[in-house]
Amino acid sequence: MNARGKSVAAPSRTRAAEAGAIQRCIDSGCGREHGIGERVYMCAGCGAPLEIFVREAVSGDGAALQKTWEGRRGSLDPRDRSGVWRFRELLPFGSDAPIVTLSEGNTPLYDAPRSAAYCKLDVLRLKHQGCNPTGSFKDTGMTAAVTQALALNARTVVCASTGNTAASLAAYAARAGLQSAILLPHGQITSSKLAQSMDYGAAVREIDGNFDDCMRLIQELGDDPSVYVANSINPFRIEGQKTVAFELMEQRAWRVPDHVVVPGGNLGNSSALGKGFSELLQLGLIERLPKLSVIQAEGAAPLAHLFARLGSDESRKKGGVPERIETVANPKTLATAIKIGSPVSWKKALRAILESGGSVIAVSEQEIADAKAMIGRDGIGCEPASATTVAGIRKLVAAGRIAASEDVVAVLTGHMLKDPDYVNAYHRGTLAAEAGGKPIHGAFRNQPVRVAATKSAILESLKGAE
Ligand code: F0G
């Protein structure tokens, strides 16, 4: 992507930002550096992904930063009201950068006792990123990517998406007065997500193909100077998303959880969380890394397959990140957000998982569906992809990789109303993994009951109901 040497320099970045951060190739054999104002997504030398180094995040004074962030709690400055920009010292922007914000972040961390019991854990907490302005975790990254698009004087921002990235980009582009164009796999995203993109004014282009085809096209389009790519190959997205680790730790009074568990699709989110925790460790704000685990849907689980092939914990750590991943040609799952066979950020994600001692596993459609309903019973709710976390934690506890007494946080990535058709089908007993196939048996099915319009009929029907 952005063929080697084709990066476009942007004169508009402040000199302070230029001095304080760089983009660097993640391939340790290459390590080529790019200016923070270069419009480049992959290394111009070797084509590997890039990541951003913010000097303050490596050598800043952790205690002083902690105090500064705390001091912003009561502030009315829009930057301080954002759960991303409140941590701006660790972001690759000058202090005077005009930011594009929808007051993202500041999402709740819930106690989820029913889901905990379901997983056979004493306690489970859910960090609900679905409570962001467009209903998914993507907003924390998009505020940074669209801010960078403005800094680069881009006019059109583009992305490939299974729906949430598109909705988020469309909203932030609208706020910034930029045009957005999104590539979606035709017929494979939920109507709620599509509705959002249309309403926010994006140019919606539906492609005959799957998400991986859309992503390939975006990588080709990225060479064109007329567009700026906002997928998570864009390292500025990751910078915004890493702040979730900071916010989570603040909410927990800086007590490190034993495990943080996230769903895996294109693997930007797990990469970002890993980077966030690693920066906190370098700053001395936490004393160890939580084990970062990623859960994929069985039919779209290239990283889980690779992880299983890496062998024991010890051989995995020793062997490090391999050169290649075997992609899944025709990914399948009802959790359409993570229906991805060729994840672009797998190397960054796997590096963070191995560094922390976490796991990658896959869960079945049945497991996802029941876990989702269980999260609902906690009064929380999420979209199917997010429920892979609780399904996965249950499996990791059963396998002895998480102990009942351990401190576990699952990250819910999307709001329940992102996919109401799925929820209705589950509770009505019509949810099927394949069109025309056998429906999934909903262990926690809760079907509406039709009753006569009388008081006695209603009271009668409630007898015996929970
Ligand atoms: N959960 C939800 C709700 C998502 O929308 C996505 C990804 C993921 C989990 C996986 O996160 O890709 O960082 O590993 N959605 C992208 C999109 C692909 O286009 O909306 P990831």
Distance of CA 456 to the CA centre of its chain: 48
Average pLDDT over all residues of the chain: 94
C-alpha 96 to ligand 1 mean position (Å): 31
Q: Is 356 in the pocket of ligand 1 (CB under 6 A)?
A: no
Mutate to test the pocket of ligand 1, among 127, 132, 136 (most ligand atoms within 8 A of CB): 136
Residue 313: what pLDDT?
84
**DSSP character string of 407-438:** -EEEEE-B-GGG-HHHHHHHHHT--BSSTTSP
Tell me the per-residue pLDDT of 182-232, one tens digit each, with 9 for 90 and over: 999 999 999 999 999 999 999 999 999 999 999 999 999 999 999 999 999
Share of the chain above pLDDT 70, in %: 96
Q: What distance, in Å, lies between the first and last C-alpha atoms of the chain?
A: 55
Could you give phi then psi for residue 305, rounded to 5 degrees?
A: -65, -45
**Over residues 62-70, mean pLDDT:** 97
Q: Which atom of ligand 1 is nearest to the CA of 163?
A: 20
* Cα–Cα dist 128/377, whole Å: 15
Task: Give, using CA atoms, the residue closest to atom 10 of ligand 1.
Answer: 265
Q: Is 235 in the pocket of ligand 1 (CB under 6 A)?
A: no
* Cα–Cα dist 73/50, whole Å: 33
Tell me the per-residue pLDDT of 291-315, one tens digit each, with 9 for 90 and over: 999 999 999 999 999 999 999 888 8
CB count, 10 Å around CB of 434?
9
Q: Which atom of ligand 1 is nearest to the CA of 268?
A: 13
Q: Which atom of ligand 1 is nearest to the CA of 294?
A: 14
Residue 11: what pLDDT?
35
C-alpha 439 to ligand 1 mean position (Å): 25
| Better-scored residue on pLDDT, 369 or 3 | 369
Category of 459 on φ-ψ map: left (φ > 0), alpha (ψ -120 to 50) or beta = alpha
The mean-pLDDT minimum among 81-85, 389-393, 433-437, 460-464 falls in: 433-437
Map residue 60 onto helix, strand or coil: coil
Structure-block tokens of residue 4: 């080697």
The pTM (predicted TM-score) of the whole model is 0.95
